[in-house]
Amino acid sequence: MPAVEHKLNVSEEEVPEHIRLIASQQGECTKTKKQTIEQFRSYIMERNECQPHRNDDKYLEKFLRARYWKIENSYRLLCSYYKFREHNKSYYEKVRPLDLRHLGDSDILTVTPYRDQHGHRIIIYRFGLWRPNRVTVDDIFRATIVLQELGSLEPISQIMGGVAIFDLKDLGLEHILHLSPSVAQKMIALLVTSMPIRTSALHIVNQNWVFNAGFKIFKPFLNSAMRERLYIHGSDMSSLHKHIDPEHLPKRYGGLHDDYSYTLWLDMLKEQSTESSVQKDMEQLGFIFH
């Protein structure tokens, strides 16, 4: 297949008609959108339980989209997001995304530059490749947050969410030793409860007996809705293909695409001009690019 460009779709004009239709089914209405955002802004100020660093329409809209335009649920997400930030300042403040290249070099995680048949980008973790003595758990979280924050700038991703694949091939005890309950809690917070982008499904592939031990740590943090979106496939890729068309998967999962490194997203960020909205949005969150 031809190489795929690493590009963020940050413009509302890039949202295809069929995804606009899905947005309207989720509760988004062009006629009342401004009014709903205004109500949300007033709700935030009245409750005053969290102080977002921005409250412009564009910023608030992604929280509303993530919770189907329900103001109370969107507010809970907003507060959960800022609580996570407050408790994990080292994941945002003075973090230099371009210094996280070693994660890409190790191929531990990436996000596909293409989308699946539903419009989701796919975040892929290959934990068996992780060497804890070279890459810290905190760096995995920092890299995940950079990807999640970038994804949350895309209207298509705000509407459709994303999907995650946890490839557990070669997962060993040395990995499980680093997966404490607090690490599990943070991972679930990032993928489920505390980011303004929904995870529509979690797919686990190539798991072994070590996974069963690790899963006991994660399971208590999965709510019933998330358990329904968790799919365990083993090495049966035809099972994965029932959810994600092979046309939109890497070759290693029976698909057509090459593997694309996390570093290609960092290259995309590096090429952004200092005036770009992407870099400005990320800098407002505490990230440093210069």
pLDDT by 10s per residue, the chain, length 290: 556 888 999 999 999 999 999 999 999 999 999 999 999 999 999 999 999 999 999 999 999 999 999 999 999 999 999 999 999 999 998 899 989 888 877 899 999 999 999 999 999 999 999 999 899 999 999 999 999 999 999 999 999 999 999 999 998 888 888 877 788 888 888 888 899 999 999 999 999 888 887 788 778 878 787 888 899 999 999 999 999 999 999 999 999 999 999 999 988 888 875 557 898 899 999 999 87
Query: Which fold does the domain 17-87 belong to in CATH?
Result: Helicase, Ruva Protein; domain 3 (1.10.8)
Q: 156 φ, ψ to 5°?
A: -60, -45
Residues of the chain with CATH 1.10.8: 17-87
Q: What is the pTM of this model?
A: 0.93
**pLDDT on residue 117:** 96
Residues of the chain with CATH 3.40.525.10: 97-280
Contact in structure between 111 and 121 (CB atoms under 8 Å):
yes
What distance lies between CA 66 and its chain's CA centroid? 12
Q: Which of the following CATH numbers is that of domain 97-280: 3.30.1490.100, 1.10.3720.10, 3.40.525.10, 3.40.50.720?
A: 3.40.525.10
**pLDDT on residue 110:** 93
From the number of C-beta atoms within 10 Å of its C-beta (0-12, 13-18, 19+), residue 242 rates as exposed
**pLDDT on residue 105:** 78
Pairing of strands 121-126, 109-111: antiparallel
Q: 204 φ, ψ to 5°?
A: -110, 125
